[in-house]
Chains A and B, each alone.
Chain A
């Protein structure tokens, strides 16, 4: 079976890398895009260390050409099936690769003091009071997300809201060099309210921006 790593431009040279199954990764080229894959005797164990190793490989690939990371862990039966996927979606992938050239993903986490810090807090309330409290929380989160998104858009080419167990999480698509400016915008927001906290993760390959339609639905 073939373990998939990422989509890249067909003409990009693939660096020599050993994959999760201990074999050298290979390039299956279509006319416009290529799929980076590794032949594996069986699917890799889906655990944390494998997921991190997968990320390292995709990140390495992203440093020499644009990539569309493939969701981990995805396997296809053989090279022929990989070729069929390239024939079916190669043009669409190539358009997206061209749009993402030179861009990376950064993830913003923001919290503020007027929200519960654990699920236990919510369980201690009952009935309508709890529902009102939850509605206020959701409303506050929407307001903060909107405000942060507005500020991030001054730096980011695209912004997506990600699910968050606490506070707000946004994915920002921007050049790697834009990180200091994004930090500055976030710092301005943080200083405008007591108890606010912001963290910035990345830059990473654009996991949240591989496809306009799919990402918007997440």
Chain B
């Protein structure tokens, strides 16, 4: 999985490309938690090019969200493909995370 990192108005934007599963989740966890431990509190994950997520990926997102909550931070997601949204829905994630249709909406809300 490829991860690109940009920043806009103090918000870190991570663009995920490929598959977030048990093969790639450990590296992504290090990256995401590393940013949070470094003090970043506002993050948006852009899933426009994310093709696949499994429970290993969901676990990383929850872990990051819990870490951020301790620091009054915020984690939002945008641009979910239908398949990713389906997994979020069946896992109950849609009621837990802010999810937006576009990156702009996520940035405005963050």
State yes or no: do A and B come from one complex: no
B residues in contact (CB < 8 Å) with A: none
